[in-house]
């Protein structure tokens, strides 16, 4: 899975810790999301999209695994 969280965070000048606090997760969760090592729950994806006032589809894209 690819994510644009880091890009959106930079636009709002948010640290990983600040974003984590806004969506009620640990900073490490944001780190793993940004590295593509963790797939968020639908609720977490929704909450992150809400912080950035964008859609889940804008933040996350799934790669085909053939």
Interatomic CA distance for residues 37 and 39, integer angstroms: 7
How do the domains of the chain map onto residue ranges? 2-57
How much is the pTM? 0.89
Q: In the block, which residue shows the tokens 């992150």?
A: 48
Superfamily of domain covering 2-57: lambda repressor-like DNA-binding domains (1.10.260.40)
Interatomic CA distance for residues 66 and 7, integer angstroms: 28
Give the tens place of pLDDT for each residue, 3-36. 999 999 999 999 999 999 999 999 999 999 999 8
């Amino acid at each position: 899975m690819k994510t644009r969280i880091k890009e959106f965070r930079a636009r709002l000048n948010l640290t990983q810790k600040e974003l984590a606090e806004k969506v009620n997760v640990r900073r490490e969760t944001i780190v793993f999301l940004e590295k593509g090592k963790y797939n968020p729950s639908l609720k977490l994806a929704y909450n992150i999209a809400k912080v950035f006032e964008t859609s889940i589809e804008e933040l996350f894209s799934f790669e085909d695994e053939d």
